[in-house]
Amino acid sequence: MAKPAVLTHPESLKRPAGPSEYAKNPVNASMSKADKIALYTKMARIRHFEQRCIRIYQQGKIGGFLHLYVGQEAVAAGTISLLGKHDHIITGYRDHGHGLMVGMGMNECMAELTGRVTGCSQGKGGSMHYFAPDKNYWGGHGIVGGQAPLGTGLAYAVKYMGLKGSCLVYMGDGAVNQGAVHEAYNLASLWDLPVIFVVENNGYSMGTSQERSTAHPGCLAKRAEGYNMAWDVINGHDVYEVRAKTAIALKRAHEESKPTVLEIFTYRYFGHSMADPDKTYRDKEEIKEYREKKDPVLAFEQELLSEKVLTPELSLKINEAAMAEADKAALFADESPDPTVADITKHIYWEEDNRGPKTTSRGTIIFE
Partner 1 sequence: MAVISYREALRAAMREELKRDDKVVIMGEEVAQFNGAYKVTEGLLKEFGPKRIVDTPISEAGFIGLGIGASMLGIRPVMELMFWSFSYVAFDQIVNNAGNIRYMSGGLINCPIVIRGPANGGTNVGATHSHTPEAILASHPGIKVVCPATPYDAKGLMKAAIRDNDPVYVMENTILYNDKGEVPDEDYIVPLGVADVKRVGTDLTIVAHGRAVITSLKAAEILEKEHGVSVEVVDLRSIRPLDEETILASVRKTHRALLVEENKPFCGVDAQVAYLIQSKAFDELDAPIHRVSSIDAPQIYCKRMEDLQMPNVERVVAEALKVLA
* Nearer to partner 1 (CB atom), residue 156 or residue 269: 156
Based on the shown chain and the rule CB under 8 A, indicate whether residue 139 belongs to the binding site for partner 1: yes
Per CB under 8 A, the segment of 39-47, 138-146, 197-205, 282-290 that binds partner 1 is 138-146
* SS3 state at 204: strand
CA 206, 298, 241, 258 torsion: positive or negative? positive
Contacts to partner 1 from residues 40-99, by CB under 8 A: 88, 90
Q: Is 104 near partner 1 (CB under 8 A)?
A: no
Nearby residues of 36 by Cβ (< 8 Å), 6 or more positions away: 304, 307, 309, 310
Question: Given candidates 124, 252, 272, 294, which one binds partner 1 under the rule CB under 8 A?
Answer: 124
Nearest distance in Å: CB 314, partner 1: 36
Please identify, using beta-carbon distances, which residue of 129 and 251 lies nearer to partner 1.
Answer: 129
What is the distance between the alpha carbons of residues 228 and 337, in angstroms, rounded to a whole number?
Answer: 51
Question: With binding defined as CB under 8 A, does residue 307 bind partner 1?
Answer: no
Separation between Cα atoms, residue 153 and residue 148, nearest integer Å: 9
Distance separating alpha carbons of residues 167 and 216, to the nearest angstrom: 25
**Positive/negative CA dihedral, 303, 309, 315, 319:** negative
CA 254 to chain CA centroid, Å, is 21
The pair phi, psi for residue 263, each rounded to 5°, is -105, 115
Which region, judged by CB under 8 A, interacts with partner 1, from 53-61, 140-148, 245-253, 262-270? 140-148
Say if CB 123 and CB 112 are below 8 A apart: yes
Interactions with partner 1, residue window 170-199 (CB under 8 A): 179-180, 183-184, 186-187, 190
- Contacting partner 1 (CB under 8 A), which of 40, 57, 93, 131? 131
Among 12, 20, 121, 210, binds partner 1 (CB under 8 A): 121
Residues in the chain: 368
Taking the least distance from each CB to partner 1, the nearer of 78 and 151 is: 151
Distance of closest approach, residue 320 Cβ to partner 1, in angstroms: 32
Which one among 28, 152, 201, 246 touches partner 1, defined by CB under 8 A?
A: 152
Q: Closer CB to partner 1, residue 171 or residue 234?
A: 171
| CA 215 – CA 121 distance, rounded (Å) | 37
CA atoms within 13 A on the CB side of 335: 7
- Give min distance, CB of 249 to partner 1, in A: 19
First to last CA, the chain: 55
Task: Answer for the pair 73, 334: CB distance below 8 angstroms, yes or no.
Answer: no
Q: How far is the CB of 347 from partner 1 (least distance, A)?
A: 4
Nearer to partner 1, 313 or 368 (CB): 368
CB of 300: closest distance to partner 1 in angstroms?
31
- Residues of this chain, 322-351, that bind partner 1 according to CB under 8 A: 346-351
Nearest to 28 by CA among 231, 198, 239: 239
In this chain, which of 141, 245, 252, 294 binds partner 1, going by CB under 8 A? 141
Q: How far apart are CA 368 and CA 362, in angstroms?
A: 16
- Using DSSP's 3-state secondary structure scheme, residue 232 falls into strand
User: Given the complex with partner 1, which of 132 and 261 has the nearer CB atom?
Assistant: 132
Which listed residue (71, 78, 142, 271) binds partner 1 by CB under 8 A?
142
Q: Which is nearer to partner 1, 36 or 141 (CB)?
A: 141
Q: How many residues bind partner 1 (CB under 8 A)?
A: 60
Dist CA 326 CA 324 (whole Å) = 5
Where does residue 179 rank: exposed (0-12), middle (13-18), buried (19+ CB within 10 A)? exposed
Q: By C-beta, is 194 or 296 nearer to partner 1?
A: 194
E-strand ranges in 202-252 read 204-205, 208-209, 230-235
- Residues of this chain that interact with partner 1 (CB under 8 A) are 88, 90, 119-125, 129, 131-134, 138-143, 146, 148-158, 160-161, 167, 179-180, 183-184, 186-187, 190, 346-351, 353-354, 359-368
